[in-house]
Structure 1
Amino acid sequence: MNWKGVTKSTWIRIITLFLVLINQVSISFFHFQLLPFTDEEIYEGVSVVLTVIVSMWTAWKNNSLTKKAQQADHYLESFK
């Protein structure tokens, strides 16, 4: 394995997965909840976070809706 070639985003995903798995095992087997949130609070939090992320992503990305804008995007892509 090449540990030096692993990106930060990969490490974040692996660590997050590990924490979620530990939380799930602690709830299922030991009836101990590491994350002190109810299901409703988690649902609301995830909904808010996803709404903010999608809103920011949509606002940030180049949304070419007109034919001229789409042609300009195609022209720009030809240089990449």
Structure 2
Amino acid sequence: MKMKFNFKNVSKGTWVRIISLILLAINQIATSVFNYQLLPFSDEEVYEGVSTILTIILMVVNTWKNNSFTEQAQEADALLKQRKGLKK
């Protein structure tokens, strides 16, 4: 059975993940096999950068989401879900 690739319909997210994986694999091989560091970052800098990026992402997601703490807001959410269910 012959596989035929369709690169036109591949999502941007897939391309980002594949390219990131390839770059990380090249860096890992260069570091472990050839003892050459392609990315000029120490472990501490990588940890700090990843922590900062994750913090920013979580802050954005948590602020973007509808956080209903009051009873009125929770009732409004239930009404909205009910109305969305009727439209479908």
Q: State the TM-score, normalized to the length of structure 1.
A: 0.84
Q: Please report how far the alpha carbon of residue 36 of structure 1 lies from its aligned counterpart in structure 2 after TM superposition.
A: 0.4
Q: Identity of aligned pairs, percent? A: 55
TM-score w.r.t. the length of structure 2 is: 0.78
Unaligned stretches of 5+ in structure 2?
Answer: none
Determine if the alignment matches structure 1 residue 44 to structure 2 residue 20.
Answer: no
Deviation track 1:16-60 (CA, whole Å, cap 9, x = no partner) reads 111111111110111111100000110011111111111111111
Larger Rg: 2
Q: Distance in 1 between matches of 2:74 and 2:10?
A: 35
User: 1:24-39, aligned counterparts within 5 Å?
Assistant: 24-39=28-43
Question: Per-residue deviation at 1:62?
Answer: 1.0
How far does residue 15 in structure 1 lie from its aligned partner after superposition?
Answer: 0.9
- State yes or no: 1:15 paired with 2:3: no
Question: How far apart, CA to CA, are the structure 2 residues paired with 1:17 and 1:76?
Answer: 41
Q: How does 1:58-69 map to 2 (within 5 A)?
A: 58-69=62-73
RMSD: 1.6
Distance in structure 2 (CA, Å) of the matches to 1:36 and 1:65 = 45
Q: Call closer, same or farther: CA 1:6–1:71 in 2, change over 3 Å.
A: farther
Aligned amino acid, residue 50 of structure 1: L
